Structure 1
């Protein structure tokens, strides 16, 4: 079982021209691995995913997306490869 955690989905670049850049969504990962994603912005919505890997396979945009977790960890999605490390001082 994984720990329950919350974070922010951050976009370095807007690949589709829809979500924008910076923090574009809030994310919750539950202890069973399921993930809820709440999109921010002009047309907010909520989606639920079976896993973080499934979410990032669709919304990772080949490295344009990073998740900043509330515990200071960073999770990047680059070509469906996931890297977790501690947060730097800046998210720029």
Structure 2
């Protein structure tokens, strides 16, 4: 597996802090760990053991989704 970029999309802002739409950007590393960078002040960065952990903290009970930007590379092209 390669790294994959993603966006955190908030459909409803229950906390009143981050707004709606794309509120953060991130990367999932090949070992499953994830890093998240907020697009709103104070632009904090967080590290998580997995996307599941990230969603547990920031998912707001299904009001937030992870939108993958980079789709997996087909196997026939992955190993030049």
Q: Which runs of 5+ in 1 are unaligned?
A: 73-92
Q: Which residue of 1 aligns with 2:78?
A: none
CA RMSD of aligned residues (A): 1.2
What do the CA deviations read for 1:17-66 (whole angstroms, capped 9, x no partner)? 11110000001000001000000112101010011111111111111101
Greater relative contact order (Cα < 8 A, sep 6+): 2
**1:41 maps onto 2:40 in alignment:** yes
Following TM superposition, where does structure 1 have runs of at least 4 consecutive aligned residues deviating by more than 4 angstroms?
Answer: none
Larger of the two Rg values belongs to structure: 2
Query: In the alignment, what sits opposite 2:19?
Result: 20
Q: Normalized against structure 2, the TM-score is what? A: 0.82
Aligned positions, number: 71
TM-score (structure 1 length as normaliser): 0.72
